[in-house]
């Protein structure tokens, strides 16, 4: 008798939504990784279930890497849901989940450190987390949004939470600096029960931690977004800190974000999810108004800094600071306090201006500043409209238009020239930062260092490069950033200056007047009328390939049957569009039929391009 061979389905990290059947004489289970022949290559795949019999020759599994499954039933359910939610293959999702997971097992899985644990039972803040969970239970909701007045208050909440959970606790941060900051205090309380999981780990180190999470219970897991895929069997709660921050968004396909994945996990396991914030975003407020979530606010009687709106009248790019900013900067440094200057995230503006006369292109409907979204189009954040970029300046009728603006290095040069007797330095994520400088310049990411710097003055060099950018969420992003800074810089002696060309912009007035209610009311009203998220969906699609170009106009017409489309880039190799739809699931049904009908193989997708 011949050997009995089993048929199994194997998934690969490819966009194509197809499973491949292989045969094996080695016993395997779903969740194990295997080496197989795929075309002319030898590749790694995941066993996902029994194979499908057919009238063809099956290839053999060459090697089984894992002695036991590394992907458990919960992660398979999550991968299936993510594949449907992000229009991709289950193999693509499994690739993200097990990214940088070593194929060979490390001999010594985990060396326990002798850490003195202070003991949670004596910790004074134990009731903090319990109160939050009780409030959620009383409102019969699985989603809690907790608003904090300070980092210290957040830290106490994170310290108290694992002690009241019956099972493992997962806390996700947007950046490694926050992971390190909060993990150090958790280590003192929970010792070896704490696991830190980030994308920066070495492959064998991650493999060791992964196997430990499979085997052990009652763990405290912290890390960046990758730790959402922890294979623990007793997960009891998920916490996502500042879910609107960009660090929670995956850069590769599938382009998931921590908030959506946390909500999926909550639904699959029936466990609570908590979003910890300095300021809720518009979607959070929408959830609370729909009674899908509860907002718990611990921000009372705060001594917030003064916020000044300073109108810019720049004659040249070298003139970076208004007279008000110059006066307060000099005053602050003379008082031996530090100054922080914030520039936009990319280091250059997204404003279209004339090279000859310097005037900025404005919206023809409302007169507000517009920002470029492609080589051909600009976007008005106030009107929520797109328009073509003029060929020549509308003011002088002669000059050509440019979106250039001085970057961080140029700003540093100007500051050193303007204030030769003051020390100035760059706040860098990669290099060494001298926090003893009088003036520190950085992007939005510099905010994570503000507690360490403790500035007396913070200046947005050009707030319009944040609040008047290329998406409908630009004002919201500035609002959340400014409100976070206000919480960190508490104290009536501290000052925040918003330099802008648009001093009457509503979001600046809301920030300066501490009027968050007005901001949320206005944003929700506008978005509901225009069916923007959270009332509708914006999906970014990228098409390329010969079959796409051949049927481009026909495909556009079919997409328009379900929603408006905006072409944001058009090149020889790829077209990218924004597709405004009312329902993601129905939109994907149409998209699937288009892809199959025209046999399009090269397509990329982002369900939250505005994140």
Average pLDDT of span 491-504: 93
Q: Which residue has the tokens 């999702």?
A: 93
- Confidence check: pLDDT of 440 > 70: yes
Confidence at 171, pLDDT banded by 50, 70, 90: very high
DSSP per position, 456-513: SEEEETTTHHHHTSSSTTHHHHHHHHHHHHHHHT-STT-EEEEEES-TT-HHHHHHHT
Q: What is the pLDDT of residues 333-353, one digit of tens each?
A: 999 999 999 987 444 445 676
Note the pLDDT of residue 106: 56
Mean pLDDT of the chain: 86
Q: Report the Cα–Cα distance between both ends of the chain, in Å, rounded.
A: 60
What percent of the chain clears pLDDT 70, i.e. is strictly above it? 86
What are the C-alpha distances in Å from 370 to residues 295, 387, 577? 34, 9, 19
Note the pLDDT of residue 465: 81
Domain architecture of the chain: domains with CATH: 6-97 (3.40.1440.60), 120-297 (3.40.50.300), 306-351+405-525 (3.40.50.300), 537-606 (3.30.70.100)
**Cα–Cα distance between 396 and 274 in angstroms, integer?**
54
**Cα–Cα distance between 184 and 256 in angstroms, integer?**
28
Average pLDDT of span 374-386: 68
Note the pLDDT of residue 345: 45
> Other CB atoms closer than 10 Å to residue 505's CB: what's the count?
23
Angle between the N-to-C axes of helices 151-160 and 176-190, in degrees from 0 to 180, rounded to the nearest 10: 50
Average pLDDT of span 149-176: 93
- Confidence check: pLDDT of 119 > 60: no
- Confidence check: pLDDT of 430 > 60: yes
Q: 131-135, 371-375, 389-393, 553-557: which has the minimum mean pLDDT?
A: 371-375
Rg, Å, the chain Cα set = 27
Average pLDDT of span 379-396: 72
Note the pLDDT of residue 45: 94
Average pLDDT of span 250-254: 90
Note the pLDDT of residue 183: 94
Confidence at 57, pLDDT banded by 50, 70, 90: confident
Show Cβ contacts of residue 2 under 8 Å, excluding neighbours closer than 6 positions: none
Beta strands in 214-338 (DSSP E): 220-223, 235-241, 273-277, 294-297, 306-311
Task: Give which of 229, 11, 270, 189 is closest to 101, Cα–Cα.
Answer: 229
DSSP per position, 315-374: SSTT--S-HHHHHHHHHHHHTT--EEEE--TTSS----EETTT-PBPB-TTT--BEEESS
Note the pLDDT of residue 546: 86
Confidence at 127, pLDDT banded by 50, 70, 90: confident
- Confidence check: pLDDT of 382 > 80: no
Note the pLDDT of residue 5: 80
Note the pLDDT of residue 217: 94
Beta strands in 167-208 (DSSP E): 168-172, 194-197
Which pair of tokens denotes residue 149? 């007045």
Note the pLDDT of residue 349: 45
Q: Vertex 512, ends 509 and 516: CA angle to 5°? A: 75
Helix (H, G, I), strand (E, B) or coil at 86: coil
- Confidence check: pLDDT of 404 > 60: no
**Cα–Cα distance between 165 and 526 in angstroms, integer?**
40
Give the β-pairing of 439-442 and 339-342. parallel
DSSP per position, 47-73: EEEE----SSPPPBEEEE--SS-SS-H
What percent of the chain clears pLDDT 90, i.e. is strictly above it? 59
Note the pLDDT of residue 434: 87
Note the pLDDT of residue 34: 94
Angle between the N-to-C axes of helices 90-97 and 73-85, in degrees from 0 to 180, rounded to the nearest 10: 120
- Confidence check: pLDDT of 122 > 50: no
Note the pLDDT of residue 571: 64
**Cα–Cα distance between 537 and 531 in angstroms, integer?**
8
Q: What is the pLDDT of residues 255-300, one digit of tens each?
A: 999 999 999 999 999 999 999 999 999 999 999 999 899 999 999 8
Note the pLDDT of residue 167: 94
The answer to whether 424 and 439 are in contact (CB under 8 A) is yes
Note the pLDDT of residue 145: 97
**Cα–Cα distance between 451 and 60 in angstroms, integer?**
58
Confidence at 79, pLDDT banded by 50, 70, 90: very high
Average pLDDT of span 196-209: 90
DSSP 8-state secondary structure symbol assigned to residue 383 = T
Note the pLDDT of residue 548: 85
| Torsion (CA) 153, 154, 156, 158 in degrees, nearest 10 | 170
Helices and strands, number each (H, E), in the chain: 18, 27
Q: 85-99, 101-115, 574-588: which has the minimum mean pLDDT?
A: 101-115
Note the pLDDT of residue 115: 41
Which residues sit opposite 21 in a β-bridge? 9
**Cα–Cα distance between 32 and 45 in angstroms, integer?**
8
Average pLDDT of span 295-324: 86
**Cα–Cα distance between 143 and 344 in angstroms, integer?**
32
Task: Give which of 6, 14, 2, 53 is closest to 30, Cα–Cα.
Answer: 6
Q: Which residue has the tokens 């080589």?
A: 375
Note the pLDDT of residue 501: 85
Confidence at 123, pLDDT banded by 50, 70, 90: very low
**Cα–Cα distance between 188 and 179 in angstroms, integer?**
15
Show Cβ contacts of residue 374 under 8 Å, excluding neighbours closer than 6 positions: 567, 568, 569, 570
- Confidence check: pLDDT of 168 > 80: yes
- Confidence check: pLDDT of 165 > 60: yes
pTM value? 0.86
Confidence at 409, pLDDT banded by 50, 70, 90: confident
What long-range pairs does 258-261 form, CB within 8 A, spacing at least 24? Answer: 258/172, 258/174, 258/225, 258/228, 259/283, 260/85, 260/608, 261/78, 261/82, 261/225, 261/228
Q: What is the pLDDT of residues 240-250, one digit of tens each?
A: 999 999 899 99
């Amino acid at each position: 008798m011949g050997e009995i061979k089993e048929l199994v389905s194997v998934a690969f990290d490819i966009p194509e939504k197809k499973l491949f059947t292989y045969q094996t004489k080695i016993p395997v289970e779903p969740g194990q990784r295997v080496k197989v022949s795929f075309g002319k290559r030898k590749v790694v795949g995941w066993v996902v279930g029994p194979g499908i019999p057919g009238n063809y020759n099956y290839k053999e599994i060459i090697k089984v890497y894992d002695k036991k499954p590394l992907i458990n039933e919960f992660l398979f359910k999550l991968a299936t849901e993510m594949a449907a939610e992000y229009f991709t293959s289950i193999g693509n999702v499994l690739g993200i989940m097990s990214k940088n997971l070593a194929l060979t097992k490390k001999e010594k899985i985990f060396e326990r450190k002798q850490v003195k644990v202070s003991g949670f039972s004596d910790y004074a803040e134990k009731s903090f987390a319990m109160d939050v969970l009780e409030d959620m239970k009383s409102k019969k909701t699985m989603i809690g949004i907790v608003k904090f007045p300070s980092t210290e208050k957040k830290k106490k909440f994170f310290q108290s939470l694992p002690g009241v959970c019956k099972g493992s606790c997962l806390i996700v941060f947007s950046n490694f600096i926050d992971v390190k900051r909060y993990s150090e205090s958790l280590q003192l309380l929970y010792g070896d029960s704490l696991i830190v999981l980030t994308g920066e780990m070495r492959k064998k180190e991650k493999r060791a931690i992964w196997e430990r999470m499979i085997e052990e219970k009652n763990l405290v897991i912290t890390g960046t977004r990758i730790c959402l895929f922890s294979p623990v069997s007793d997960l009891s709660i998920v916490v996502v800190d500042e879910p609107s921050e960009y660090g929670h968004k995956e850069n590769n396909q599938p382009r998931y974000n921590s908030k959506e994945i946390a909500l999926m996990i909550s639904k699959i396991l029936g466990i609570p999810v908590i979003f910890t914030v300095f300021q809720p975003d518009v979607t959070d407020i929408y959830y609370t108004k729909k009674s899908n979530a509860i907002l718990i606010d611990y921000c009372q009687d705060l001594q917030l800094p003064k916020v000044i709106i300073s109108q810019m009248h720049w004659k040249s790019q070298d003139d970076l600071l208004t007279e008000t900013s110059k006066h307060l900067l000099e005053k602050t440094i003379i008082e031996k306090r530090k100054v922080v200057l914030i520039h936009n995230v990319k280091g250059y503006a997204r404003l279209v201006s004339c090279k000859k006369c310097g005037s900025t292109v404005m919206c023809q409907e409302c007169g507000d500043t517009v920002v470029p979204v492609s080589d051909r189009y600009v976007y008005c954040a106030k009107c929520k409209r797109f328009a073509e970029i003029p060929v020549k300046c509308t003011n002088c009728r002669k000059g050509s238009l440019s979106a250039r603006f001085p970057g961080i290095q140029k700003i540093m040069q100007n500051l050193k020239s303007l204030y030769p007797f003051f020390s100035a330095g760059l706040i860098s994520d990669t290099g060494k930062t001298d926090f003893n400088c009088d003036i520190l310049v950085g992007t939005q990411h510099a905010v994570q260092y503000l507690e360490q710097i403790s500035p007396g003055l913070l200046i947005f060099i050009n707030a319009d490069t944040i609040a008047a950018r290329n998406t409908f969420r630009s004002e919201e992003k500035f609002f959340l950033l400014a409100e976070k800074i206000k919480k960190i810089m508490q104290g009536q002696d501290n000052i925040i200056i918003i330099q802008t060309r648009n001093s009457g912009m509503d979001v600046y007035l809301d920030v300066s007047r501490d009027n968050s209610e007005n901001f949320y009311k206005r944003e929700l009203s506008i978005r509901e009328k225009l069916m923007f998220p959270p009332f509708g969906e914006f999906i970014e699609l990228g098409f390329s390939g010969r079959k796409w170009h051949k049927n481009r106009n026909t495909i556009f017409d079919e997409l328009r049957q379900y929603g408006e489309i905006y072409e944001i880039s058009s090149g020889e190799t790829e077209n990218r569009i924004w597709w405004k739809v009312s329902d993601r699931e129905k939109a994907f049904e149409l998209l699937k039929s288009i892809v199959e009908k025209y046999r399009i193989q090269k397509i990329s997708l982002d369900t939250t391009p505005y994140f």
